[in-house]
Structure 1
Amino acid sequence: MDWFNSEKYKLSNCSRRYFDFENAELRLSKNSFDKYEEINKKLIGLVGDIDVRKINDETIIHLKKRLNEPTIISGEKRARSPARRNHFLVVLKNVLNFLKEVEGMQNIHSLSKIKKFKEEKKPVEVLTDEEIKVLLNSIGENCITKLRLKTLIICLLSTASRITAMLSLNKEDIDWEGGIVSVRGKGGKINQLIFDELSREYLKKYLAMRKDNCPALFATTNGTRLQVNCAERAIRNQGKRAGIKNRVYCHIFRKTSSSKMFFSGVPLPVISRYLSHSDLATTQRYYLRGANFEEVKQYHRTLDYSSLVNRK
């Protein structure tokens, strides 16, 4: 076999071409891109830098067995979650699909045979109005880092935005009159965010306190763009300081706002459009909390058949 041809078909080189393609097409956010690249390195560590034309049912079975083995996570030896294991299968499937559909490579393993691990459906985590009140009121406004954190949380609640999209914005992107901002989101799609009056009020207050020349909407005290990991850490720590029982993280504000809209009577298609989902099922499964019994009792009143009965 020609050496150059054999190198071309190695999983490492095929995946590199796939990631270059995704990067050029802007179909992945930077956060997703970095995560997929990290998983791909571990994937090659599990199955080896094999010739992609030799991937078959046995390869997939071997990979799944390796994924089921305990691994070191945050310094502890434990099993990967089904969702984490599925990330490996998704990356492999995406690479093979790229080779088949974009490069026209023949003899690629059937994608339909790469079955995901079954994931247990978890209840959607949201914050109550009282928890949001406690969280926001636990943050002072007397220094730039505290005001930045409070403003960021208010903006995430108002826009139901992903943290990556929010931190990609620049100051000049904000429409101070209408509050509508276009941003490139997950999958390279252009999404519209709506900043309400409260979020614009706090943005003005936060920007007025800043002394740097950084164009980013949210910046560090060193004048550089605020990064996702820093924002996540600050929000997580503030949740603990505020004594919030539920885990507080960036994405919970997106889930909280979508559930609040739904239980306020906003139709599901409207919420799905606001979240920039292409599938209503995604909105319903991952972003809407279940109803509690008090709400069931409240809406049970709509089942009134008394007017249909001729009492005798």
Structure 2
Amino acid sequence: MSNNSEVIKDFVYYLQAERELSPNTVNAYKRDILPFLNEVGKELNDITRDDLLNYISKLKSSNYSTSSIARKLSSLRMFFSFYIGEGLLLESPIDNIESPRLKRKLPTVLSASEVENLIESINGNSTFSIRDRAILELMYGCGLRISELLNLYLEDLFLKEDFIRVKGKGSKERIVPLGSKAKSAVMNYITNARMELDKNSSTYLFLTRNGNKLSRVGLWKNFRKYVLQSGIKKNVTPHTLRHSFATHLLEGGASLRTVQILLGHSDISTTQVYTHIDRSYLRDIVSSYHPRG
């Protein structure tokens, strides 16, 4: 196919401008679609159902997992659908191809006591201990994604009102209540640690020893250290704290709808947060149902 770069360019622009997907998500679509286009080597209108079936067969013989194949097919389905919408395709060659059935994998979740052990494994009151306690308390207490935590600015904190402003996927903002433990840890960090790290007048909340924005790699490295220190045997990641946040709220009696909003899932807009859910109600939910609220 001679114009792969142009074809994918139009689709990528659609994902960025109209779907407002994050750069990581857009790159994932590209990684799913470009190998197929390069493999078949045909113009868009010449791609057939057999081309797709042969590609799926090749993926299976190359030991790709069922979930990986299903994800690639989902990306290709959206890709072809886009060009039908643009009037460049009459029909999608993938329409009558079923995705492989996936076994539903439940996320790893820590118990409330395991979360407690993880946070308490951060020893001492050094600048970095204070910072890292605030990080773990915020991730668990507010159900934050790694990127959301790392991209927090000082201006996103509303400590008097017990809220933080979070910029989620697709640059969508949401307001999340700040539980008592998380608030205390963040205030301790700002008062007793952050000033020692802020060598460049940064506006980011969490900083490195050089005064730069904390990186994803740096967060992961520290997190692994604390997991080992805590003695937790489960296969956990920073995202496990987000899963635990949601699970513990639901177990405590919070509604699924409320937890959806607090997590900032893509099907709930910022407007709905402000219009349909009262902020004081959200704060009461976290205070009542979250173990560290």
TM-score relative to the length of structure 1: 0.74
CA contact (8 A) 2:108 2:236 kept: no
Matched with 1:54 is: 46
> Would you say the 8 A contact 1:219–1:225 is kept in 2?
yes
2:153 corresponds, among 149, 158, 170, to 170
How many residue pairs are counted as aligned between the two chains? 263
Greater shift, 266-275 or 128-137, is seen at 266-275
Between the aligned partners of 1:33 and 1:217, the Cα distance in structure 2 is 27
The DSSP-based 3-state class of the residue aligned with 1:113 is: coil
Is 2:253 the counterpart of 1:265? yes
- Tell me how far apart the structure 1 counterparts of residues 122 and 33 of structure 2 sit (CA, whole Å): 39
* Structure 2 match to 1:150: 133
In structure 1, C-alpha distance between the alignment counterparts of 2:222 and 2:28, rounded to whole Å: 21
Query: For residue 137 of structure 2, what is the amino acid of its counterpart?
Result: I
In the alignment, structure 1 residue 27 sits paired with structure 2 residue 20: yes
Following TM superposition, by how much is the alpha carbon of 1:110 offset from its aligned partner in structure 2, in angstroms?
Answer: 4.7
Q: Residue 73 of structure 2 aligns to which amino acid in structure 1?
A: L
Query: SS of 1:112's equivalent?
Result: coil
Find the aligned partners of 1:205 and 1:60 in 2 and give their Cα distance.
56
* Correspondence list, 1:1-312, <5 A: 7=2, 10-25=3-18, 27-44=20-37, 47-70=39-62, 79-101=63-85, 103-208=86-191, 209-210=193-194, 211-212=197-198, 213-277=201-265
Whole-Å separation in 1 of the counterparts to 2:8 and 2:40: 13
Q: Deviations over 1:166-187 (max 9, x none)?
A: 2222111111212333333234
Any conservation in 1 of the 2:169–2:266 contact (CA below 8 Å)?
A: no
Going from structure 1 to structure 2, the CA distance change for 1:99 and 1:179 (only over 3 Å counts) comes to farther
Larger Rg: 1
Measured at CA, do residues 264 and 93 of structure 1 come closer, stay the same or move farther in structure 2, by a change above 3 Å? same
Q: 1:89 and 1:241 mapped to 2: Cα distance?
A: 41
1:297 paired residue number = none
Cα distance in 1, alignment partners of residues 84 and 262 from structure 2: 34
Partner amino acid, structure 1, of 2:249: M
**Shift in Å, 1:158:** 1.1
Percent identity over the alignment is 22
Deviation for aligned residue 1:20: 2.4
TM-score by length of 2: 0.78
In the alignment, the residues of structure 2 paired with residue 43 and residue 240 of structure 1 have an alpha-carbon distance, to the nearest angstrom, of: 41
RMSD (Å) for aligned C-alpha atoms: 2.6
Cα distance in structure 1, aligned partners of 2:257 and 2:250: 10
The answer for the alignment partner of 2:286 in structure 1 is none
Task: Give distance in 2, aligned partners of 1:121 and 1:153.
Answer: 28
| CA shift in 2, pair 1:241/1:82, >3 Å | farther
Contact 1:26 1:188 in 2 (8 A): no
